[in-house]
Amino acid sequence: MKILYIEDDVIDQKNCQIILNQKEDINLTVVDQFEKAFDFISKEKIDVLISDQRVGMDHFKDHWHQFLGIPYFIVSNSPDENLNTLLQPPLQLFQKPFQVEHSDNIVKKMESLKAEPNLSYAENITEGAPDLLTEMVFILKSQFEEGIDKIPYLYEKKNTEELIQVVHKLISKFSVLSMSESFSFFNRVEKCLRDQLTLNNFAYKRLVTDLQEGLNFINFYIKQHELHNS
Amino acid sequence: MNCIIVDDDLFYCKTLQSFCERLDLNLLGVFSDPVKAMGILSEREDIDLVFLDIHMPDISGFDILKSNPKLNVVISTMDETKAIEAFDYNVVDYLLKPVTLDRFIRAVNRAKERLSGNGNSASYKETPAPNASDNTNPKEIYVNVNKRLVKIELDNIYIIEAKGDYILIKLIEGKNQVVHTTLKSIMSKLPENIFVRVHRSNVVNIKKIVDIEDSSILINKEVVSISKTYRENLLSKLNLIN
């Protein structure tokens, strides 16, 4: 897991490094300014952002869309609960000093975000009607395929109006697949586009990645249940 | 009960269609094109209930509601921010996608009650659904707080602040309210000569302003900033002596 930590206090930096480096699969980068974090994420993909509240939050409030789709945690001497009302709120607020318990929480939280898609919703509403289930699964498949085809094209052409429509149509489909993180992310992207905020490259790529993940599951389901499109 | 479905999303057309069949509703048509739906709504008078999406290309669900104020409508949408606006049109129910069968049944039962005269349709039939834009001088507003519609007197509001997905309504008396909506959405419900945007994140009640400096306003013992973009508009709303 690739973590970017924004902190200008050298002691806090060291402390966090010591704790997080104890975990085998964590690759930590520390920067001391928010602007450096901007530069970093424009070049490299990260999985998690941890930020000191004071260094980060004024920027987050104004530039949240630059970090759209990147899960983040806040550390502070006095965590501000109001941050939970931000459009993209932190996953958790930690009281300084950063502790082993916090790093465990980050790992657990990130694990819980990993999507385990299912089609229980479609199975329930089509109970006793296998043909309808098949029909609905193939409709979903075509909508995900359409999204994967259209989003890069519309993004490149800067056709925001149509991009909003495509994203909007797909939001609730993630709910159908129980992919709650993707559901929230697509929701934020739609708000961001409607507010005419520019998507960052990370967010744009994640749109396609999340759709592909959903599509992979649908294809797996079709194969597993031997469904055939009539 | 005669009904139609208007939704541009094939997945939800199928979902609602299967629910209608399970409840033995008489489904007269499924329209992915809202323009065609407008056609049938103007031709037929025997449609008891419409399942209507809000966000559709060209024509929105609200356009259909405006043109057909006497329709019994169940909204089916994934947009949770439009509920208050929808209930201004006296819709029967507001369903969030993906819709479950239980929730669908409750909505149909509400529609049946209304059609049989036991629901809240009496005043609805006598007067058209209120349209916010027609209501130029409302004295109060209803906001959805934890699934309750709470009445707030407009004269009691001094500032409304944007807080991400929410707004904070600051009140002169009583507890401030946090509501899941946008500034833009609530402003469409407020008299524009009284509630004026002064900043990307702030709307003020100009009747409560104490004084104005270059870049700030004193209002109910609180100082808020005015951005240059909104300053001229604010001044144009005030009774100024030059």
pLDDT, position B135: 45
* Residue B1: predicted pLDDT: 92
Instruction: Give yes or no for residue B133 having a pLDDT over 60.
Output: no
pLDDT score recorded for residue A8: 92
Mean pLDDT, chain B, rounded, equals 85
Compare B28 and B185 and report the one with higher pLDDT.
B28
Per-run averaged pLDDT (10 residues), chain A, 230 residues: 93 93 89 88 87 78 76 89 77 91 90 83 89 95 96 92 92 92 90 85 88 95 90
Q: Which chain B residues are within 8 Å of A140, Cβ to Cβ?
A: 11
Q: Which of A27-31, A161-165, B97-101, B233-237 has the lowest average pLDDT?
A: B233-237
CB nearest to A125's CB, from B9, B18, B57:
B18
pLDDT of B134 reads 44
Domain range summary for chain B, segments of one domain joined by +: 2-126, 140-237
Among A85, A131, A166, most B C-beta atoms within 10 A, so best to mutate, is A85
Q: Give contacts of B53 with chain A, Cβ < 8 Å.
A: none
- Asked if B14 and A139 come within 8 Å (Cβ–Cβ), the reply is yes
Q: Which of A124, A143, A171 sits opposite B11 (nearest CB)?
A: A143
Closest Cα to residue A16, out of A25, A26, A109? A26
The dihedral through the CA atoms of B18, B24, B30, B34 has a sign that is negative
Sequence-distant (6+) residues with CB within 8 A of B65 are B52, B71, B73, B86, B89, B91, B129
List the CATH code of the domain at B140-237: 2.40.50.1020
Cβ proximity of A170 and A35 under 8 Å? no
Indicate the domain borders of chain A: 2-113, 120-224
Please provide the DSSP assignment of B99-121 as one string: PPHHHHHHHHHHHHHHHTT-SSH
CA atoms within 13 A of residue B125's CA, in its CB half-sphere: 9
* Residue B137 confidence (pLDDT): 67
pLDDT tens track for B112-122: 999 887 554 33
Among chain A residues, CA nearest to B20: A125
Query: Is residue B4's pLDDT more than 60?
Result: yes
What are the pLDDT digits (tens) for B169-214? 999 888 888 888 888 888 888 888 899 999 888 999 999 998 888 8
Report yes or no: B162 and B183 within 8 Å, Cβ to Cβ. yes
What is d(CA A122, CA A227) in angstroms, rounded to the nearest whole number? 14
Q: In what order do the strands lie in the sheet with B2-6?
A: B26-31, B2-6, B49-52, B73-77, B93-96
> Under an 8 A CB cutoff, do B11 and A176 touch?
yes
Question: pLDDT category, B80, cuts 50, 70, 90?
Answer: confident
B226-231, Cβ contacts within 8 angstroms, sequence gap of 24 or more = B226/B198, B226/B199, B227/B198, B227/B199, B227/B200, B230/B196, B230/B197, B230/B198, B230/B199, B231/B198
Strand partners, B74: B51, B93
| The listed CATH number (3.30.413.10, 3.40.50.2300, 1.10.150.120, 3.60.70.12) that belongs to domain B2-126 | 3.40.50.2300
Higher pLDDT, B51 or A194: B51
Contact call for A135 and B14, based on CB within 8 A? yes
What pLDDT does residue B120 have?
45
A2-113 has CATH 3.40.50.2300 classification: yes
Structure tokens at A90: 């932190």
The band of B127, judged by pLDDT with boundaries at 50, 70 and 90, is very low
Which of B13, B17, B18, B103 would you mutate first to test chain A, the one with the most A CBs within 10 A? B18
Tell me, letter by letter, the H, E, C secondary structure of A47-71: CEEEEEHHHHHHHHHHHHHHHCCCC
Q: Assess if CATH 1.10.10 describes domain A120-224.
A: no
A136 vs B14, B165, B166: nearest CB:
B14
Shortest CA gap B164–chain A (Å): 4
Mean pLDDT of B134-144: 71
Q: For A67-163, where are the E strands, in sequence order? A: 72-76, 92-95
**DSSP-assigned states of every residue in A164-187:** HHHHHHHHHHHHHTT-HHHHHHHH
Q: Is the ipTM of this complex over 0.95?
A: no
Per-residue pLDDT at A153: 94
Q: What is the pLDDT of residue B242?
A: 58
